[in-house]
Structures are given as structure tokens and as C-alpha cells.
Amino acid sequence: MGKLERAAIEAIANHFSATWDEGDEPPDSYVVVGGQRIAVDIATAGPRIVKQGARAGPRLRFDRVALRFVNGLRGALHEAVPDGTTVVLTVTAPIRLPAKTAAALVEEIRSSLAHRSLQSEFSHAIHGNQIRFRLLHDGWREASKLIGFVHNPDSDADALLALTEALIERIAAKVRERAPMGFVGDRWLAIVGEGEPSHIETYRQVCAPMSFPTEFKKVVMVLPDGRVEALAG
């Protein structure tokens, strides 16, 4: 167990007034809470990803138009996106022609899904909005099929895409480790942010729309200052 993982499990044990010991990789460690032994897997989000861009964190938009736009895309593409695949997209605000922009974007995403080996990333302006998306394959079965961020033009879309991709890859790796794991009790996931404290909101905003694997009864985030925040469960 590395220094970062040890600090994370110590923070979790302190937060839940628990004891802990190292695991067998998998899992990374165990905690004992109220007499129950729980396996804890730890997924890290590297500092390099955040430091590449998010100087002050993303400035995301949650107004009615933005929420309706993302929800509409999610509904239109639900059947087209295979289980285990996630479309991660960023759109600059304001969205002045939401219906036309969404229709064109759905067509682009469907085309990319149909030609998986030819194109898995898209960056283009549609009706005045700069749009980027990536197709992330090999996720877990219940993974969100579409994660969309509507952001101000001065936000760093690269940082949002890179952090989301890294987290999905690392969580999926923990899910795949479940098969050889002999432990049959509850399992938790700890996501460890390595960036500066000012980047914590970036982690939260990236994690918020994720559908976490059902095998994790609880998902927490361990912040750089040792605080522990619940994300699910």
C-alpha cells in the first residue's frame, strides 16, 4: 500500500470511528465499523490531470436550458449507447438553438457509435457552440450512458474530459478486480483527489452525474486535507 492509499484509509477509519488493516489487493484494505468488516477499494485521480487546466475549477451551467439539453440527449441516446459505454461531452454556453444543436449532436454521436473503430472523439462547433465528446468503452454494466457538462467558454473542457475519463477507467478497474476476490461482505469505494484544495469542486461536479457500480454499498471521496465526503450510499 502506497503513502496516498494509507493516508486515505486512515482518514476513512477516523471519519467512521473504525479500525483498519491492509487488504490482499484486491481489496486495498478493510475497515471494521460497528463490528462489521468492510472491504475498501481505493481509486485515485492523479494531480497531473487537474493541473493541466482547471485553474479555478470549471464554471458549469445548471440553468433550465442546460439541464433540459443534457437530459434530452440522455433520453435520445439511451438505447443507442451499449451497456458499459459512456459518452462524455462538454458544451459551451449559452445554447441559443438547443433543439437544432441537440439533433445535430445526436446524429454525430450515433455515427461515432456505429463506427467505433474509426472515431471515438469529436470536437467541433455546432450552431455557435463548441462541443467535444469522447466515447469511453469498457466501463461497468450500470455506468452512466451519457455524462454532459454545459460550461462557460472560459472553462477548461480538456480538464473535465480527462478527469471524467480517468475516474471511469480506474473505477472500472476496481470492478473487474471483484471476480477473484474471495471476500463476501460489503464493499466500499474511496475516490482520492490528489489536486489542490481549490480543485475539490471539480471532483464533485465530475462525480455527481456518475452511476456508480452497484457492488459498492458506499462511495466516498477523500479530500487532500483528510476530510471524507459521501458521494453515494
Q: Is the pLDDT of residue 197 over 60?
A: no
- Together in a domain, 207 and 132: no
Average pLDDT over residues 13-30: 86
Nearest CA among 204, 134, 154, 190 for reference residue 54: 154
* Confidence at residue 163, expressed as pLDDT on a 0 to 100 scale: 85
Sheet architecture: strand order including 187-193: 19-22, 29-33, 36-45, 187-193, 218-222, 228-232
Three cell numbers, residue 222: 477523500
Residue at which a domain ends, from 124, 155, 186: 155
Residue at which a domain ends, from 136, 155, 174: 155
Domain extent for 133: 59-155
Q: Is residue 160 part of a domain?
A: no
* Confidence at residue 57, expressed as pLDDT on a 0 to 100 scale: 61
The alpha carbon torsion through 159, 160, 164, 165 (nearest 10 deg) reads -50
* Confidence at residue 195, expressed as pLDDT on a 0 to 100 scale: 61
Q: Is the pLDDT of residue 185 over 90?
A: no
pTM: 0.84
Please tell me what DSSP assigns to residue 28: S
pLDDT category at 53 given cuts 50, 70, 90 is very low
Tally of domains in the chain: 2
Q: Is residue 202 part of a domain?
A: yes
Q: Domain holding 209: CATH number?
A: 3.40.1350
Secondary structure class of 110 (helix, strand, coil): helix
Looking at every residue in the chain, the average pLDDT score rounds to 85
